[in-house]
Structure 1
Amino acid sequence: MTQGKGSRRVRRTLARRAGPLVLAIALVSGAWATGHLATAWRTVLDTAVATSITAGFEVRHVLVSGRLKTDRQTLVEALGIGIGEAMFAIDLEAARARVTSLAWVRDASIRRRMPDTVVIELVERRPLAIWQHQGELFVVDSVGEVIGGAEPEDHPGLFLVVGPGAPAAAADLLALLSLTPELAPRVLAAVRVGQRRWKLHLDGGIDIHLPEEEMQEAWLVLARMDRSNGLLSRDVMTIDLRLPDRLVVRLTDEARERLDHEMTEGEDT
């Protein structure tokens, strides 16, 4: 007897929940006959969404990971998903498109975790360098793209690159400099020449001309020479590494005058 009453209660509950959907299906059937199918289908969708909320499938939590630079309120507005919204009504692709358009966001994934949670995973841009271009400074990321809204003064430790094409080649240059930790801190800036090669400005006023090809080999040769005879500690103005079989060194004006004087004295004696 008790089991029979319980079964009847379950059937009544299911009937109450299914009622709106049954009504919606009936509307569609009628609309098919009368030619108003689009309106009826919209009614079915609205009914299904409302029923899903009643069943507990509504947004109650939004979990975000990977957010470091992106402003919280800006992210909320771009997401466009509100607490209490039906889980099945969320357009995930549209939300993702809005989120990935934010300045600091490189990529994002947005998914539902039933019954009531939206999970957002951000991949933010990583500031790599400061780019000087046409008298202005910009923060660029690891793939050479400008990070809109990022202020250079907020990133004082970033490496300075100059000239057209410099941002796209900056990651490779910094990887090269990292191979010589004893020399890397001495490089103050790098100028991209003809979008093909680099000219490095070192402390002490020394300029290093790197070749277009075999750049790593040339830089490591310079590092070995500096370790062996302290080349970069001498009165040097320019070191040209562009020739594959030789290294061309230009002395400072003072060093040249001193050398000329020493040679003249040698001739007199």
Structure 2
Amino acid sequence: MLASRRNARRRAPESLGERLKTLMPRIQSGFSTLLSVSAMLALAAVVYLGVEALRKLPVERIVVTGKLEHLRQDALRDAMSDELDQGLLFLSLADLQVTLEALPWVYSAELRRRFPDTLEVSVVEQLPIARWGDEAFLNHEARIIEVTDRERWRSLPEIRGPMGSEARLMNHYQRLLERLRPLALTPISLSEDDYGQLVVGLDNGVQLQLGDHDFSLRLQRFLQLWSSDLQEADRVVQRVDMRYDGGAAVAFDQTPRLAGLTENTQGR
């Protein structure tokens, strides 16, 4: 009987306070979890609303920098207009760069976002430095470029050669320009035929034939020949052929002297 009473006391129900004390850690843990989830949802909502607000930010201003001589700013804006609807944040600057650099006269383009509403565009124009054949033009990297108002550039030096030889011939031309400058000579044309024969036209009317090999060596020999013998020659030099291993063939223009003789004969 005594044992039964003891067991009954042991199985007596817990008080409300004791139950709350037991459940409180669980309640606090659940409440903390609920707060964390609510905070995360609130943060996600704020981020979403922020992104949506940024997505709707239009490009209100386009600022174009760089020295523009042939490009029009409105042409640049027109080229980008189809992509500006994406808004400032989601614009693909890489795609816009490709679009702009495909335009005539554009050598390079860089773009930057300036929040809240500005797109900065920095452009470097490319300029032709030589004519390539009858219609095309070359820039300083020997790339064929498109130009407008071709007549304006007719005074540029002319380079002609097989397709694919642009870079090599441009390199030859640059070397000619540099080496001939001390002699007050300027190359105005450089051509290479199908057999690789190089012919240079100089601004004083002389035609210089350099052949198909030993470019540097033959050019150096011409510089020496011109300095020592031809620069002060009493006859007008018409053509200098440097394709000879041991020397050069020089053709002189006899027309002025013959004309003078004819006039003197008529006067007698």
Q: TM-score range by the shorter chain?
A: 0.5 to 0.7
Please give the secondary structure, in 2, of the residue aligned with 1:168: helix
Paired residues in the alignment total: 212
Structure 1: give runs of 5+ residues left out of the alignment: 1-17, 26-43, 259-269
- Amino acid paired to 2:153: H
Counterpart contact for 1:49–1:89, Cα < 8 Å? no
What is the DSSP-based 3-state SS (H/G/I as helix, E as strand, rest coil) of the residue aligned with 1:126?
Answer: coil
- Cα distance in structure 1, aligned partners of 2:182 and 2:73: 40
The equivalent residue for 2:74 is 73
Deviates more, 1:234-243 or 1:99-108: 234-243
- Superposed displacement of residue 184, structure 1: 6.1
The runs of 5 or more residues in structure 2 that have no matched partner are 1-40, 259-268
Which residue matches 1:51?
53
How much is the aligned-residue C-alpha RMSD, in angstroms? 3.6
Displacement of 1:123 after TM fit? Answer: 3.1
| CA displacement 1:110-155 (0-9 Å, x = unmatched) | 22233433222223322110122xxx33222123333224333112
User: Does the alignment pair 1:22 with 2:45?
Assistant: yes
Alignment match, 1:37: none
**Whole-angstrom CA distance in 2 between matches of 1:195 and 1:65:** 47
Q: Is the 8 A contact 1:60 1:84 kept in 2?
A: no
Matched, 1:107 2:130: no
| Counterpart in the other structure of 2:26 | none
8 A Cα contact 1:100 1:106, kept in partner? yes
- Give SS of 1:224's match: helix
Larger radius of gyration: 2
Equivalent in the alignment of 1:218: 218
Which amino acid in 2 is paired with 1:129?
A
Residue identity opposite 1:171 in structure 2:
M
Q: Which of 134, 143, 146 lines up with 2:144 in the alignment?
A: 146
Any runs of at least 4 consecutive aligned residues in structure 1 with deviations exceeding 6 A, and if so which?
A: 18-21, 81-85
Distance in 1 of aligned mates of 2:195 and 2:147: 26
Q: CA deviation at 1:221?
A: 2.3
Are positions 1:248 and 2:237 aligned together?
no
Q: Please say if 1:171 is aligned against 2:178.
A: no
Asked if structure 2 preserves the Cα contact closer than 8 Å seen for 1:178 and 1:184, the reply is no
Question: Would the alpha carbon gap of residues 76 and 172 (structure 1) be closer, same or farther in structure 2, given more than 3 Å must change?
Answer: same
Q: Alignment identity in percent?
A: 20
With structure 1 as the length reference, what TM-score do the two structures score? 0.63
TM-score, normalised by the number of residues in structure 2: 0.63
Distance 1:89 1:128 in 2: 38
